[in-house]
């Protein structure tokens, strides 16, 4: 967590509970930190309890009321249990952030059915199952904020990432459709599309398997120079850059915003970065 997680007034989310999938690492942890700094109680859910416990310790150290929950977003019952545990522990689920995802490079001709399923099920099915799981609580409360983390690579296509591009394009479509279906219940549904953020998870996943695959994080290895050239605002992103957009979207400032997808990438996608 860095100082950017404290740009919003500390109480704008007071009394709200957020569930962040994949909240134990990288961007998800940054989002959880920003929401918590704005006053929300935060449940973080993913498969590795060890990772979640360590993240929870960091968040609690920053004074954030945190609940780590083991859950697999690919399994509807598993994420439903996490939603119920959040409601049991904190009294409600007002905010859902669909952040959990998986990704790796693979040429489409040799991408295995299991590899395809793993990414599409985690990113797209996981977003749908999690949104469906929080819906009854949000409907009954007459209030809900859902934000899904998408990406920008599918705007043009990205070689060797057909699974992730297809899944994230599906998330964009789902965002608009759920926004229309659930607006009458006081639920807004938006998405954030980050540019390159050198998280530990993504560094591993994006290690190119062969010479033909574009090396997204060569930018980082080739230092700031690439970022200065390829990203108009001159740097790679931080998890808190995404966390602050999510905080805006779930705050009262965005009460009239739904079905929107916000690109947060320093302008990189405009230059094809
Ligand atoms: P990350 O650190 O690898 O985060 C992925 C998280 O998802 C992990 O905490 C992981 O925890 C969790 N997860 C994976 N499979 C899961 C499952 N089946 N059920 C529950 N949780 C699961 O990567 P990141 O860079 O922070 O990415 C976060 C989000 O930002 C993703 O949606 C990604 O597509 C998006 N994004 C990232 C970038 C970037 O450059 N970093 C750019 C565009 C979009 P466990 O292993 O404990 O389950």
Cβ 194 under 6 angstroms from ligand 1: yes
Mean pLDDT of 187-208: 86
Specify whether 131 is located in the same domain as 253.
yes
| H or E element in which residue 109 lies | none
Q: Decide: 266 in ligand 1 pocket, CB within 6 A.
A: no
By the 10 Å C-beta count (0-12 exposed, 13-18 middle, 19+ buried), 267 is classed as middle
Q: Which of 129-143, 155-169, 199-213, 214-228 shows the lowest per-residue confidence on average (mean pLDDT)?
A: 214-228
The DSSP H or E segment spanning 67 is strand 66-70
Domain coverage including residue 55: 3-197+238-267
Identify whether residues 51 and 123 lie together within a single domain.
Answer: yes
Tokens for 244, please give them. Answer: 């602050």
Residues 226 and 253 in one domain: no
175 and 61 part of one domain: yes
Q: 147 and 26 in one domain? A: yes
Distance of CA 127 from the midpoint of ligand 1 (Å) = 12
Residue 96, pLDDT score = 99
Q: Are residues 140 and 206 in the same domain?
A: no
Q: Which residues of 235-259 are buried (b: 16+ CB within 10 A; e: fewer)?
A: ebbbbbbbbbbbbbbbbeebeeebe
Name 210's Cβ contacts closer than 8 Å, sequence gap at least 6.
107
Number of domains into which the chain is organized: 2
Residue 24 lies in a domain: yes
pLDDT for residue 205 is more than 90: no
Angle, helices 239-250 vs 26-37, to 10°: value is: 50
pTM over 0.85: yes
For residues 134 and 96, the answer to whether their CB atoms sit within 8 Å is yes
Mean pLDDT for the stretch of residues 189-204: 89
pLDDT single digits (tens) 124-142:
999 999 999 999 999 999 9
Integer angstrom CA distances of residue 175 from 97, 116, 263 = 12, 22, 14
Ligand 1 pocket member 33 (CB < 6 A): no
β-bridge partners, 97: 20, 147
Q: Which residue's CA is minimally distant from atom 8 of ligand 1?
A: 22
Q: What is the mean pLDDT of the chain?
A: 93
Ligand 1 site, residue 102, Cβ cutoff 6 A: yes
Cα dihedral 78/84/85/86 (nearest 10): 110
């Amino acid at each position: 967590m860095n100082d950017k997680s404290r740009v919003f007034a500390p109480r704008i989310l007071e009394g709200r509970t957020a569930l962040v999938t994949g909240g134990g690492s990288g961007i998800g942890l940054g989002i959880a930190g920003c929401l918590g700094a704005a006053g929300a109680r935060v449940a973080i859910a993913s498969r590795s309890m060890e990772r979640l416990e360590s993240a929870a310790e960091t968040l609690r150290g920053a004074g954030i009321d945190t609940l780590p929950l083991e859950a697999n977003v690919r399994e509807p019952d598993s994420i439903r249990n996490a939603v119920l545990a959040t409601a049991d522990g904190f009294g409600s689920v007002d905010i859902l952030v669909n952040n959990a995802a998986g990704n790796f490079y693979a040429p489409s001709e040799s991408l295995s059915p299991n590899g395809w399923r793993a990414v599409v099920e985690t990113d797209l099915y996981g977003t749908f199952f999690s949104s469906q799981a929080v819906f009854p609580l949000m409907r009954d409360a007459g209030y809900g904020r859902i934000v899904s983390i998408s990406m920008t690579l599918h705007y043009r296509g990205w070689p060797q990432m057909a699974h992730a591009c297809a899944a994230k394009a599906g998330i964009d479509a789902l965002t608009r459709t759920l926004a229309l279906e659930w607006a009458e219940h006081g639920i807004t549904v938006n998405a954030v599309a980050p540019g390159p953020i050198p998280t530990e998870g993504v560094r591993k996943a994006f290690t190119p398997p062969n010479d033909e695959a574009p090396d997204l994080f060569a930018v980082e290895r080739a230092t700031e120079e690439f970022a200065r050239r390829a990203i108009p605002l001159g740097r790679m992103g931080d998890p808190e850059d995404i966390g602050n957009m999510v905080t805006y979207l779930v705050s009262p400032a965005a009460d009239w915003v739904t079905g929107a997808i916000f690109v947060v990438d320093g302008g990189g996608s405009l230059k094809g970065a």
